[in-house]
Every structure is written in structure tokens, then in C-alpha cells.
């Protein structure tokens, strides 16, 4: 028996009223003109996990924590009819023109306009622009009985018009301040277009690159993902939601969405309680503690119950144990889709299940607006449950300042001056170059010289001005990104030394958010031109990878190898010139073993946003020393997926001498091609021996881990120092490594700095099968280095006394 203690959180003062978020679901996501609007307490008991959905309700009257706002909400609620209450919980898509007449015979939109005018709509998504949001708001404020303002929401994922690297790419910077800044700029631009609320950040932990939406998250690690989640939430929301340059954020998808079986979007999720609490939930708990305004639930299921109807997730855990004060919004039609799950008999049944489980806002299913009033009248849903959901919605509207001024976000001057401004583009360029991960650099071929080198720029993505914008691109202008060719040409002293050939197309059709993309699998007619210019060049820069619409929602793949004829193009060019620098542009980890065997250098650039070409060129030519590190492991083969560094040891870790009976593949190594946290630099870094403040601590004490980091190369650079631990023996089996700290350290050539990490109860414990957080006495290993392959650096013990 191991001695342990349990940690429970003191109730944090979370943002009051917060608005839950919804997100994506592409169907019909047109944009008309938008609208939408530790302290640690040691205790010996904790709430056990009961995923039985029966009666997981929060019955107490909801209070936001702000007495003044609560008083106003109660005064307004007392005036509302049941129909008006239901309206506040109804969210409509804005792909119909509220600024113009509804066409005769269009019963669908006629009814929606009637609902808007009668107070039957509380929020809208995909209504974008000051003109559109102002007109929709005018209808809500001037034509409804109570004049309750609307919330306008939109998927602002990695920028509004100014695009930053896709979230997975930006996470590769490991620069939390940068992530907060880019989210703030996105909020500035989105709020200037009349928006109040974004369905971001996506904070699902993703470990299967086949799942297309890994591009939207922060990768495979819950500790890292929690830090990134808080940074992005702080960037969107700022210190005061009533400020017109902030927007409400939404933590999604609660919970387990990225664990879809076989990496197939919307597929079944079947996970253990230990995985749920130790891997999936930590970023969401961090988001709740950071005061995120809204949560969005998931399309997936937990223990056979669709997340939208999970009383355990939404009521017991989120609103109960975590004392979350914001609101929960469904994903697009996820209430209606419970019928397809085989969980709900009809839409009325689905509405009852969702509202009773803690889902406050219905996005686009029309389940609440059609059935919730009759469910209350029949007694299937208590009106107090509806009242609590409405309170959460109204609180967010008060927090945003919309009752004080419904048009506070509707400024034509800001819309004209704040969106796409030069200062934002400069940050986008900085984000692009900081997100680059140098995977290989044989013979120090990089950085390239800006003069005297003949450079052949080749590849289907080399002069692509659209794919760098990535998927989930909000209001980005198509083909507005700086291409790699443009970046290279601008960086060299003589553009005549730069030649270009596309070599081959990547996608032949379907390059749109709602379309199925078609990949070129046989047209190699452009190879000859590429081979010709490569033969005359000193170095080839080849841009290959994925089209922007190969990753994202509903973009799951059975293979994560290079698609189409790209590998064949590389092979053909390498026959005449083996000095090839590969620039990967992609939204997920790729299996590029063949490239790794042959390319001289490989640069992971992701879909890097509006300033992609300039940011990548900054790295290629040495204006910026690459500092990015991978937020997800890169597999050798698709068959290794899901793949992540923090695996369990198993009972047969092997290998044994002349023994095949251990956990391994017979046709490939277990290890990734590039591990989590990996990334090279143009300089070298040396880690000293690790020193500990003590060799033994009590389980409720902290330990300092110090190392001296030295830049031993000839260039200034930035290293991401990473701290991992291993709990050697536990009451449940523990991973072989877990990230518990990281720091960006800037060092001039020859400079040394001491880096100190702190380990304590918050980082040494884990959740057991009942969802209780334990810190157990025992022995621990510490690993410090530049990636998750770091070797054991020290050991210490935690004791019960």
C-alpha cells in the first residue's frame, strides 16, 4: 500500500456569467454578415466519479459571483415569459440576410426572422460585419418586448483577417506570450467586425495524426495543452470582457473529441477514467480556472452517452465539482444528432436530455425553440433548470456590457482601422518564424546565403498564396498569404538567382471548406521543368506537404504519408540535385521516413498564416535562428498511430536477448521519427548536470530542479528547456515520462544561464480511477533536456511525512 493524499481545489472566483461556446460544424456555415453576438487544500476526501447519467443535475439557483449583476439578472428574469426564456437558449446560424427582405416562399428563413422579432433568438453565429450585426441587434433591441441584446459568435480560430499559424503550428513556438498576443489581435479584429464571442480555443488533446482537427489544438500533452489553453483564453478575453476589443472565448470540445476511434472524425470515443482525468480533462479544468466565458460540448460520447447529454461532464463535474460559472453551448446540431446516436427517440427527447444534463444553449438543432416550453409545461423539464441556463446567458451579456450599450462592438471606424493593420502583420510574421521547427540540417546546409547561391524553388506549395492561410481561416482574404517563393525572392540580394517550377499540382479540385478535396495522383507533366531548374541550381528549396483543406474538421485520413505525386517529385529532383531543403507545409504530423532518408534538410513550417513566406525565409536565410519544438510526435509510419511520448511501460517493455515476446513491431521501430519536443537550431546547447534542492521531500512539499544551459555554438539562439518526470511505482500504472515544466531561454553565443523548475503537489500527482487527485509517496526520476528523449538526470523521493 502506498501512502497518498488527495488535493481538491478551493472554489476559484471564475468569470461570472460567461458564455458558452459552440463551434464549428461546417454544414451551412456561410457568413452573411455575421451575428452572434491554487491555492491547494489538502483534504482526505474527494468526490468520486460517477458517470451514471441519472439525476446529474445542479439544482441550486445559479449565481455568478457578482452580486450586482445577479440582481439585474433576477429582475429581468422575473419579467420573462417561458417563451422568452427559451429564446435566450436558442442560437441560429446567420446564413440568411437579416439586412434584406426574406424571399417569398422561404418558410425556413421567414420563421427564423419571426423568431428573432419575437425574442425567440438569444445568439447568432456567422453574422459578420458592423452593418450586419447592427441590424440584427436593432431587431432584437427595438422590436422584441424586452429588448434583450443578441450575442454574435464566430469561429475565430487562428486569426480573423490577419492569419497566424494554425494552432498546432503556433504551439510549436512554445511561446505562451506570443500565443496570448496573437489571440488578442484576433479578438481586436473580430470585435471590430461586431463580434462578441469566438468558438475557440480548441483544447482537445490529440494523439492521432489521422484525425484532421489536430491542426486546431496544441498537440499530445495535457500539461503543455493546459498552458496553451490559458494563454489563448487570456488573449481573447483580456482582463475585462466589457472592453470592446475583447471577446468571450470558448473551451472546446468537452470532452474526448480528439480520441475518436481510428482518428475518424465524429467516431465513437471509448476511454478509461484514468485517461479521461489525466489526459483529456486537465486543459478544460485549467480553462475553467482561468475564467473562460463558455464551454462547448463534443460530438462524441462518453461511456455510451453523447457528451451533449452527459450530466456527469456538464453538471456533476463542470458546474458542480469545478464550480464553473460560465455557460455551455452545444456544437452544431449536436442535440439533434443524439437521435442518430441512438440515444434520443426524437428531437423533443433530445432537448429534454440536453437541458437536464447542463447544456445551456442549443446551436442550430432547433430542439429548444420547438420543444422546451412544452417539456416544461409537461413536467419533463423543471422551469428552474431553464432559469439557470438563462441566467448564465444573461450574465455573459451583462459581462460583455451589452445591456449598457448593445452596439458597443459596432464601430465602423474600428472596422476600417483595426482589421488587417500593419502592426498585426508584423506579429504574424514573428509567429510564423517562431513556429518553424528545424527537423534535419545535414552538413549545416542551412542557413542559406542571401547572395551568390542559385536557388531553385520547387513544389506544389512553393507559390501557393492560399494554403498557408490554413483551414478555419475566418475572414482571411483568399490568396492573400505571402508565398514561400515571394519570401525567398524578397530575402536574396539578386532575385535573378531564384528560379521556380511548380513541378506538380497537389489538389485538382475541392479546395473549399465544405468540399471533399481531390488529390492529383497521376499528373507528372510538370516534373521535367522542375528537374531542369534543379539541375542548374546550387540548392533546391522544395515546398511540399498538405493543402490547407486536407486537415481540419471532417478531414480524417487513413494515411499521413505525403499525398499524390509529391514523393515522386522529390525523388525525381533528387536524381539531379541532392542538395534539397524540404519545407513542409501541413496541418498534422506526417510520416516522412523516405524524405528523412534522402533530404539534406527538413523544415517544418506548418500552414503559417498571412506572413508565411517571409517568416519561413527569415529562418531559411538565418535572419532568425529556429527555435520551434514539436507539440506532437511525428510517426515513422501511419500504423504507429496513435503515437505519443508518455506511453506506459507495459509488462513486457523489452527488448530481451533473442526474445520476440515483448511489445514491439516486427517491421519497424517503436520510436517516432521525431519525438515530442524535438527541434534543432543553428547553434548548439549544452545542459549541465542537474542539481536538486533536496533528495527527499514530503508529498505536500516542493522541490527545485536546476540546470545550467550553455550556448556552445557561434550564433545567438533560443532553447526550449524541458523538464520531465517519471513516477516509478503508482497505485495505477504511470507513464514512462510526463512533461512538468518548460522555459524558453534566449542565449547569446557562449552565454550560460541557470534554469530552475519547481516540482510540487500540483505536478507530482495524478488522478485515480475515481477521479481523485493523489500525490503518492515513492521514488521519481527527473529528465531535463531539449526534447522528450532526454535521459535520466536525477532521482528523488517523496515521503508521507
Catalytic (active-site) positions: 331
Q: Alpha-carbon distance 592 to 570, whole Å?
A: 12
DSSP H or E run through 597:
helix 593-598
> Cα torsion for 381, 386, 387, 389, to the nearest 10°?
140
**β 717-727/738-747 pair status:** antiparallel
Contact call for residues 176 and 221 (beta carbons, < 8 A): no
DSSP string, 464-500: -SSGGG-SS-TTPPTT-SPPHHHHHHHHSS-GGGEEE
Q: Alpha-carbon distance 568 to 565, whole Å?
A: 5
Q: Alpha-carbon distance 737 to 646, whole Å?
A: 5
> Cα torsion for 579, 465, 29, 265, to the nearest 10°?
0
Cα–Cα distances (Å) from 84 to 36, 72, 77, 90, 140, in that order, read 18, 17, 9, 10, 12
Gap between the terminal Cα atoms of the chain:
15
Question: Is the sign of the CA dihedral 344, 349, 355, 359 positive or negative?
Answer: positive
CB atoms within 10 A of CB 411: 18
CA 78 to chain centre: 39
∠ CA 576-579-581, rounded to 5°: 120
Using alpha carbons, select from 635, 493, 54 the residue that is nearest to residue 316: 54
Cα–Cα distances (Å) from 505 to 462, 478, 517, 548, 563, in that order, read 11, 18, 13, 14, 11
**β 717-727/778-785 pair status:** antiparallel
CA 326 to chain centre: 20
Bridge-partner residues for 744, per DSSP? Answer: 720
DSSP H or E run through 152:
strand 151-154
CA 734 to chain centre: 26
Q: Alpha-carbon distance 766 to 760, whole Å?
A: 12
Contact call for residues 517 and 225 (beta carbons, < 8 A): no
Residue 455, helix vs strand vs coil: strand
Contact call for residues 353 and 330 (beta carbons, < 8 A): no
Rg of the chain on CA atoms, in Å: 27
DSSP string, 385-443: HHHHHHHHHHHHHHHTTTTT-TTTT--HHHHHHHTT-HHHHHHHHHHHHHH-EEEEEGG
Q: What b/e readout covers 486-505, taking b as 16+ CB neighbours within 10 angstroms?
A: bbbbebbeeeebbbbbbbbe
Residue 497: HSE in the Cβ half-sphere, 13 Å Cα cutoff: 18
Amino acid at each position: 500500500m502506498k501512502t497518498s493524499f488527495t488535493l481538491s481545489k478551493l472554489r476559484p472566483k471564475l468569470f461570472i456569467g460567461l458564455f458558452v461556446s459552440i463551434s464549428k460544424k461546417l454544414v451551412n456555415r456561410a457568413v452573411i454578415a455575421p451575428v452572434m453576438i491554487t491555492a491547494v487544500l489538502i483534504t482526505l476526501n474527494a468526490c468520486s466519479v460517477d458517470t451514471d447519467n441519472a439525476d446529474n443535475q445542479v439544482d441550486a439557483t445559479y449565481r455568478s459571483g457578482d452580486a450586482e449583476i445577479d440582481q439585474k439578472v433576477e429582475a429581468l428574469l422575473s419579467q420573462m415569459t417561458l417563451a422568452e426564456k427559451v429564446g435566450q437558449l436558442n442560437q441560429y446560424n446567420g446564413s440568411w440576410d437579416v439586412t434584406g427582405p426574406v424571399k417569398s416562399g422561404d418558410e425556413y428563413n421567414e420563421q427564423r426572422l419571426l423568431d428573432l422579432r419575437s425574442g425567440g433568438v438569444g445568439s447568432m453565429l456567422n453574422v459578420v460585419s458592423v452593418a450586419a450585426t447592427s441590424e440584427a441587434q436593432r431587431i432584437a433591441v427595438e422590436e422584441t418586448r424586452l429588448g434583450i441584446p443578441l450575442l454574435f459568435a464566430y469561429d475565430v480560430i487562428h486569426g480573423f483577417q490577419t492569419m497566424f499559424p494554425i494552432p498546432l503550428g503556433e504551439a510549436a513556438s512554445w511561446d505562451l506570450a506570443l500565443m496570448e498576443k496573437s489571440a488578442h489581435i484576433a479578438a481586436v479584429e473580430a470585435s471590430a467586425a461586431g463580434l462578441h464571442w469566438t468558438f475557440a480555443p480548441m483544447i482537445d488533446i490529440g494523439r492521432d495524426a489521422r484525425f484532421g482537427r489536430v491542426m486546431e489544438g496544441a498537440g499530445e500533452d495535457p500539461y503543455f495543452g493546459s498552458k496553451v489553453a490559458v494563454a489563448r483564453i487570456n488573449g481573447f478575453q483580456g482582463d475585462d470582457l466589457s472592453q470592446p476589443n475583447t471577446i468571450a472565448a470558448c473551451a472546446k470540445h468537452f470532452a474526448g473529441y480528439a480520441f475518436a476511434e481510428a482518428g475518424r472524425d465524429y467516431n465513437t470515443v471509448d476511454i478509461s477514467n484514468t485517461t479521461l482525468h489525466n489526459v483529456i480533462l486537465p486543459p478544460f479544468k485549467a480553462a475553467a480556472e482561468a475564467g473562460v466565458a463558455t464551454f462547448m460540448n463534443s460530438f462524441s460520447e462518453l461511456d455510451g452517452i453523447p457528451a451533449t447529454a452527459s450530466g456527469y461532464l456538464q453538471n456533476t463535474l463542470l458546474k458542480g465539482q469545478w464550480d464553473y460559472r460560465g455557460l455551455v453551448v452545444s456544437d452544431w446540431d449536436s442535440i439533434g444528432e443524439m437521435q442518430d446516436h441512438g440515444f434520443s427517440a426524437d428531437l423533443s427527447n433530445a432537448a429534454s436530455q440536453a437541458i437536464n444534463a447542463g447544456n445551456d444553449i442549443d446551436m442550430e438543432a432547433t430542439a429548444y425553440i420547438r420543444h422546451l416550453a412544452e417539456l416544461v409545461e409537461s413536467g419533463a423539464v423543471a422551469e428552474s433548470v431553464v432559469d439557470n441556463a438563462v441566467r448564465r446567458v444573461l450574465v455573459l451579456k451583462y459581462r460583455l456590457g451589452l445591456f449598457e450599450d448593445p452596439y458597443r462592438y459596432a464601430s465602423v471606424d474600428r472596422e476600417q482601422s483595426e482589421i488587417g493593420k500593419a502592426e498585426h502583420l508584423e506579429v504574424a510574421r514573428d509567429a510564423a518564424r517562431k513556429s518553424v521547427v528545424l527537423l534535419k540540417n545535414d552538413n549545416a546546409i542551412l542557413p542559406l546565403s542571401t547572395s551568390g547561391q542559385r536557388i531553385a524553388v520547387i513544389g506544389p506549395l512553393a507559390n501557393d498564396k492560399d494554403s498557408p492561410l490554413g483551414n478555419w481561416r475566418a475572414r482571411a482574404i483568399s490568396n492573400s498569404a505571402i508565398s514561400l517563393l515571394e519570401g525567398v525572392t524578397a530575402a536574396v540580394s539578386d532575385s535573378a538567382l531564384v528560379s521556380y517550377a511548380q513541378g506538380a499540382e497537389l489538389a485538382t479540385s475541392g479546395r473549399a471548406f465544405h468540399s471533399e478535396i481531390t488529390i492529383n495522383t497521376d499528373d507528372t507533366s510538370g516534373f521535367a521543368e522542375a528537374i531542369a531548374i534543379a539541375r542548374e541550381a546550387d540548392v533546391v528549396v522544395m515546398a511540399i506537404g498538405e493543402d490547407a483543406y486536407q486537415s481540419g474538421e471532417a478531414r480524417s485520413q487513413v494515411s499521413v504519408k505525403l499525398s499524390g505525386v509529391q514523393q515522386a517529385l522529390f525523388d525525381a529532383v533528387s536524381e539531379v540535385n541532392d542538395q534539397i531543403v524540404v519545407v513542409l507545409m501541413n496541418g498534422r504530423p506526417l510520416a516522412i521516413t523516405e524524405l528523412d532518408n534522402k533530404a539534406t534538410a527538413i523544415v517544418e513550417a506548418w500552414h503559417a498564416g498571412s506572413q508565411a513566406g517571409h517568416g519561413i525565409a527569415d529562418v531559411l536565410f538565418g535572419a532568425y535562428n529556429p527555435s520551434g519544438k514539436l507539440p506532437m510526435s511525428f510517426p515513422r509510419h501511419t500504423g504507429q498511430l496513435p503515437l505519443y511520448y508518455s506511453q506506459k511501460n507495459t509488462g513486457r517493455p523489452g527488448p530481451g536477448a533473442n526474445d520476440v515476446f515483448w511489445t514491439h513491431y516486427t517491421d519497424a521501430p517503436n520510436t517516432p521519427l521525431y519525438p515530442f519536443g524535438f527541434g534543432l537550431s543553428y547553434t548548439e546547447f549544452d545542459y549541465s548536470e542537474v542539481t536538486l534542492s533536496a533528495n527527499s521531500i514530503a508529498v505536500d512539499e516542493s522541490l527545485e530542479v536546476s540546470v545550467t544551459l550553455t550556448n556552445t555554438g557561434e550564433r545567438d539562439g533560443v532553447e526550449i528547456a524541458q523538464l520531465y518526470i517519471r513516477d516509478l511505482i503508482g497505485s495505477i500504472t504511470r507513464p514512462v515520462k510526463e512533461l512538468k515544466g518548460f522555459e524558453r531561454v534566449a542565449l547569446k553565443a557562449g552565454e550560460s544561464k541557470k534554469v530552475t523548475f519547481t516540482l510540487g503537489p500540483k505536478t507530482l500527482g495524478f488522478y485515480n480511477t475515481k477521479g481523485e487527485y493523489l500525490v503518492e509517496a515513492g521514488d521519481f526520476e527527473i529528465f531535463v533536456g531539449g526534447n522528450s528523449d532526454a535521459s535520466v538526470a536525477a532521482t528523488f523521493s517523496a515521503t508521507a511525512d
